[in-house]
Amino acid sequence: MLTKAQVKYIQSLGHKKLREAEQVFVAEGPKLINELLSAGNVQPVSIYATQEFAGRHPHLTSLVEVSAQELERISSLSAPNEVLGIFRKPVFDKPSFKNGLSLMLDSIQDPGNLGSIIRSADWFGLRTIICSNDTADAFNSKVVQSTMGSIARVQLLYADLLSFVAEHRLPPLYATTLKGRNLFEMEPLKEGVIIIGNESKGIGEALLELAAHHITIPRKGQAESLNAGVATGIVLSHLT
Amino acid sequence: MLTKAQVKYIQSLGHKKLREAEQVFVAEGPKLINELLSAGNVQPVSIYATQEFAGRHPHLTSLVEVSAQELERISSLSAPNEVLGIFRKPVFDKPSFKNGLSLMLDSIQDPGNLGSIIRSADWFGLRTIICSNDTADAFNSKVVQSTMGSIARVQLLYADLLSFVAEHRLPPLYATTLKGRNLFEMEPLKEGVIIIGNESKGIGEALLELAAHHITIPRKGQAESLNAGVATGIVLSHLT
């Protein structure tokens, strides 16, 4: 049984402010929930599940059994799927930027793009993404659902990017732009921070000036640009 | 001024059946509309625009001036932007599969993924995408908006894929799977058809058996899979 207060609380977590105040996020569906439950760095707060899921998880202490109708009331999916969980945000060690690649996102707006970028980072073995404060919130439910569990493995830091660069000893910055060096002629990188810009405006000028290198995915056809998530995947596939 | 019948007609084009019966699609925003107006193979049926856009296009005969409130009624964008146009579907020459690369999509469901795949195909110079009948409709407004005009440059064919392969002399089929040859060890291809599978189920078994080659994007981290649009972009960036 769900109480009115529980429904209200879960719905309130649709707002970034509330998620930040509570330091929690919402995830849905048995596959994702199981992945988060088995990740060592994400603690469940409460799991709301139908009998089907509950029956398969008899030892889960944080589980509240709900009806399909109740799940529908709290779900943000068009097809609610057995279970919704509230989790504490993942805990990570202090990030290291040396001896590896990291991503820096300058104002990525679309939650779907952010989700696919987090998943690509995880696929190619990156551990850290530094996001500008105006990048979409990684704990937005659309992002969480599209990361497929990578949200527990990739550390996301939100910061003012110019201050972040000034205050940290980062390896060289590689800005992805439309007029840089041919990506396909570059060797894989041992370390570096790859900057991806906003979907329509690209990378901010001041940040662009701090980048030691500009790199470009050569165009062979006529499209004006690539989707930001696709561009990130291509860059990572060549430089890792 | 908009008539009730016009509003109803435009709203009806949100349905695939109606778009197919009329052989038209809807696009929005000045940038995309200008791109479509200057493409040689897409004819406008009617353009509904606010004074702002209308003032910049005094010679457009198919233009109906509307108020911002009227545009809001017919727009499917959260922020309607100056203009909405109804266009006839693009006209293409008979597709050729020889001496080049094409894509084959086996049940891509997400309109955002399909949009970014069309854009990537256009960026890397592909001319044709063969889609299974259950792939998302390319003339769905979400797809059209996310292709950024590539919808007029890349030809989309919908077919039963097994019959299509049987009935056409296609160059070798390359299936992207999780257990194929390392993409990064392959040379660019002169000709071929690259098959991309469904977001969760991958490529259907019968189609998989027809593929002469299986290729894989090697994983360096822990994510279970890549977003289908990202994977397509990475494959095209290596094989074109």
Check whether A221 has a pLDDT greater than 90: yes
Residues contacting residue B71 through CB under 8 Å, at least 6 positions apart: B48, B49, B50, B80, B82, B83, B84
First CA to last CA across chain B, in angstroms?
A: 49
Residue-level pLDDT at A21? 97
Q: How far is B225 from chain A (nearest CA, A)?
A: 7
Beta-bridged to residue B157, according to DSSP, are B130
Closest CA to A101 of A197, A200, A187: A187
Question: In this complex, do B223 and A126 lie within 8 Å of one another by their Cβ atoms?
Answer: no
Whether CATH 3.30.70.1140 fits B101-239: no
Question: In this complex, do A150 and B223 lie within 8 Å of one another by their Cβ atoms?
Answer: yes
Residue B102 with chain A: CB contacts under 8 Å:
none
Give, to the nearest 10 degrees, the angle between helix A228-239 and helix B228-239. Answer: 50
* CA A77 centroid distance within chain: 18
pLDDT digit string, tens, across residues A46-72: 999 999 999 999 999 899 999 999 999
At residue B187, what are phi and psi to the nearest 5 degrees?
-85, 155
Same fold, B4-88 and B101-239: no
Q: Where are the domains of chain A?
A: 4-88, 101-239
Angle of CA points B71, B77, B82, to nearest 5°: 40
Of the candidates A121, A217, A227, the beta carbon closest to that of B119 is on: A227
Superfamily of chain region A4-88:
Ribosomal protein L30/S12 (3.30.1330.30)
Question: In this complex, do A220 and B148 lie within 8 Å of one another by their Cβ atoms?
Answer: no
Structure tokens, B75? 């727009």
Check whether B32 has a pLDDT greater than 90: yes
CB B25 within 8 A of CB B19: yes
Q: Please tell me whether residue A134 adopts helix, strand or coil conformation.
A: coil
Check whether B1 has a pLDDT greater than 90: no
Residue B148 with chain A: CB contacts under 8 Å:
223-225
Q: How far is A122 from chain B (nearest CA, A)?
A: 5
Write the single-letter amino acid at A29: G
Of the candidates B123, B220, B230, the beta carbon closest to that of A229 is on: B230
Residue B129 with chain A: CB contacts under 8 Å:
none
Average pLDDT score over chain B: 96
Residues contacting residue A207 through CB under 8 Å, at least 6 positions apart: A106, A161, A162, A165, A175, A195
Average pLDDT score over chain A: 96
pLDDT digit string, tens, across residues A7-27: 999 999 999 999 999 999 999
Residue-level pLDDT at A183? 97
Check whether A1 has a pLDDT greater than 90: no
Q: What's the rounded Cα separation, in Å, for the pair A123 and B230?
A: 11
Q: Which residue of B has its CA nearest to A115?
A: B227
Q: What's the rounded Cα separation, in Å, for the pair A218 and A181?
A: 9
Question: In this complex, do A220 and B123 lie within 8 Å of one another by their Cβ atoms?
Answer: yes
Which H helix or E strand runs over A205? helix A205-210
Q: What's the rounded Cα separation, in Å, for the pair B195 and A16?
A: 39
Q: What is the mean pLDDT of residues A194-200?
A: 96
Check whether B36 has a pLDDT greater than 90: yes
The pTM of the full predicted model, rounded to 2 decimals, is: 0.94
pLDDT digit string, tens, across residues A127-162: 999 999 999 999 999 999 999 899 999 999 999 999
Beta-bridged to residue B132, according to DSSP, are B159
Residue B150 with chain A: CB contacts under 8 Å:
222-223
Question: In this complex, do A221 and B125 lie within 8 Å of one another by their Cβ atoms?
Answer: yes
pLDDT digit string, tens, across residues B160-200: 999 999 999 999 999 999 999 999 999 999 999 999 999 99
CB B13 within 8 A of CB B86: yes
Q: What is the mean pLDDT of residues B3-25?
A: 96
Question: In this complex, do B230 and A225 lie within 8 Å of one another by their Cβ atoms?
Answer: no
Q: How far is A131 from chain B (nearest CA, A)?
A: 20
Structure tokens, A110? 């679309």
Interface confidence, given as ipTM, is 0.93
Question: In this complex, do B230 and A232 lie within 8 Å of one another by their Cβ atoms?
Answer: yes
Question: In this complex, do B123 and A219 lie within 8 Å of one another by their Cβ atoms?
Answer: yes
pLDDT digit string, tens, across residues B54-111: 999 999 989 999 999 999 999 999 999 999 999 999 999 999 999 999 999 999 999 9
Interface test with B, best of A103, A116, A187 (most B CBs within 10 A): A116
CB B124 within 8 A of CB B149: no
Question: What is the Cα Rg of chain B in Å?
Answer: 20
First CA to last CA across chain A, in angstroms?
A: 49
Q: Which residue of A has its CA nearest to B111?
A: A112
CA–CA distance from A39 to each of A35, A36, A85, A232 (Å)? 6, 5, 14, 25
Q: What's the rounded Cα separation, in Å, for the pair A120 and A229?
A: 8
Residue A150 with chain B: CB contacts under 8 Å:
222-223
Question: In this complex, do B122 and A153 lie within 8 Å of one another by their Cβ atoms?
Answer: no
